[in-house]
Amino acid sequence: MTPFDTNLALANRQLVKKLLVAALVMFGFAFAMVPFYEQICEATGIRDVFKPDAVEVNTQIDASRDISVEFDSNTQRLAWTFKPLQRSISVHPGEVTQVMYEVRNTLDHPVTGQAIPSFGPQQAALYFKKVECFCFRQQTLGAGEVRKMPVVFVVDPKLPRDINTVTLSYTFFEVNGTDGAKG
């Protein structure tokens, strides 16, 4: 082995070490990005739609008032059937209420979806507190699976008196790149 070959072998080993260190740094950076991203989303409030709303401890029921809550359901490019089991309900502000939605995967393989809520009028979102909701996490349904999912909510008594009807609408979107874990 010539001195040139020895120097070349040494340079190759150093290059391999540098590449391994770079690969480990990139892996570590990618691994750290997930919790870092979650913290950014939490700090900026981007992911608040996936958390239960806080309900005041001393919620008072306003029995002098009835609010009509209508339920709507949609899917966006998702081969599921999705519907509320009740189209509307009358509630008193401050009253804890539960309604059920039903979803069915019409495909022959598992699919994961995420429901996103919206409100009409939009101002009602400030006074509609979801305590439990299937929209807080992704839902994976097996082939042909049917699932009933609850929504537990309270309409805040501070809802403006000129709002007598609130529409809660959910749209389910397919979530790509999930590992198929049940939600």
pLDDT at position 52: 63
pLDDT at position 183: 41
Do strands 146-155 and 96-105 pair parallel, antiparallel, or not at all (unpaired)?
antiparallel
Dist CA 27 CA 32 (whole Å): 9
pLDDT at position 181: 43
pLDDT at position 47: 60
Mean pLDDT across the chain, nearest whole number? 85
- Mean pLDDT over residues 19-30, rounded? 81
DSSP collapsed to 3 states, the chain? CCHHHHHHHHHHHHHHHHHHHHHHHHHHHHHHHHHHHHHHHHHHCCCHHHCCCCCCCCCCCCCCCCEEEEEEEEEECCCEEEEECCCEEEECCCCEEEEEEEEEECCCCCEEEEEEEEEECHHHHHCEEEEEEHHHCCEEECCCCEEEEEEEEEECCCCCCCCCEEEEEEEEEECCCCCCCCC
pLDDT at position 149: 96
pLDDT at position 173: 93
CATH superfamily ID and name for 50-174 = Ctag/Cox11 (2.60.370.10)
Buried b / exposed e over 110-123, threshold 16 CB at 10 Å, is ebbbbbeeeeeeee
pLDDT at position 144: 95
Segments making up each domain of the chain, as ranges:
1-46, 50-174
The tens digit of pLDDT for each residue in 36-80 reads: 666 776 666 666 666 666 655 545 888 899 999 999 999 998 989
- Of residues 13 and 58, the one with the higher pLDDT is 13
CA-based torsion, 14, 19, 23, 28: positive or negative: positive
